[in-house]
Amino acid sequence: MSTISLKIEFGGGLELLFSNQRSHRITIPANVPPEGSDVPSKPVDITYLLFWLRDNLLKERAELFVENGTVRPGVLVLVNDTDWELEGEGEYQLKDGDEIVFISTLHGG
């Protein structure tokens, strides 16, 4: 099974949910099964990554990270230093070496 490596960073207090570690390097499958299938035929996207992070790296209070199948309102996502809204949000297909940053804007104000 082919895999891709990603650099994940957390900021604005979100790192507190992930063992207080700001930077992580992870390896995930390059293809995942689409909904209702067992065959890994769909390229991995950010939505898959969100749930992967919740299930594998998150240590506490998942509701502060994921809500209704996407990031919680108030969490900003950058894909290679670019707002994920320019990249298709959760549908962005991840590539090997991508750098994904999650920043909470809710760390006070």
Partner 1 sequence: MQRRKKYDKTKICVRCKDAQGNIVIRHTVYCKNCFTPLLIHKFRRVLEPTVNPKPDGPRRTALKPAGNLVIGFSGGLGSSVLLDLVHRCYVALDKSTMPTEGGRDHPRHERVWKKVTVCYVEVCDAFPGMDDRTDEIARFVSRYDELDFVPLRIQHAFDRTWWERIGRSTSFSDIGVDLADESLLIEPLSQTHPDPLTALRTYLSSLPTPTAIHSSIQALTRVLLLHTALQTGSSHLVLGTSLTSLAVSLISGVAQGAGFNVREESMEEWTPDPETRPAPDTVPDDGTEGARKSKEARRTVRIVRPLRDIGMKECATWAWWSHIPVVGKEKWVWPGAKPGIGTLTKDFILGLEQDYPSTVSTVVRTCGKLAPKGEVAGKCILCGRPAQRGVQEWKARISIRSQPPPPPSDSDSTDAPATPAPVVPESKANTRPSLTPYLCYPCHTTLTSRSARPVPSPWPDTAHSSVAPLPVWTEARLGTHANVGVSVADEEEIAVAKKMDQEEMKGIVNEFLCIIRS
Residue 11 C-beta: closest distance to partner 1, Å: 6
How far apart (Å, rounded) are the C-alpha atoms in residues 38 and 34? 8
| Residue closer to partner 1 (CB basis): 85 or 96 | 85
How far apart (Å, rounded) are the C-alpha atoms in residues 99 and 109? 26
| Residue closer to partner 1 (CB basis): 29 or 74 | 74
How far apart (Å, rounded) are the C-alpha atoms in residues 52 and 5? 13
Cross-strand partners of 100: 8, 79
Residue 81 C-beta: closest distance to partner 1, Å: 6
Residue 73 C-beta: closest distance to partner 1, Å: 4
Are the C-beta atoms of 99 and 9 separated by less than 8 Å?
yes
| Residue closer to partner 1 (CB basis): 29 or 90 | 90
Binding residues for partner 1, per CB under 8 A?
A: 11-13, 73-74, 76, 78, 81-83, 85-86, 89, 101, 103-109
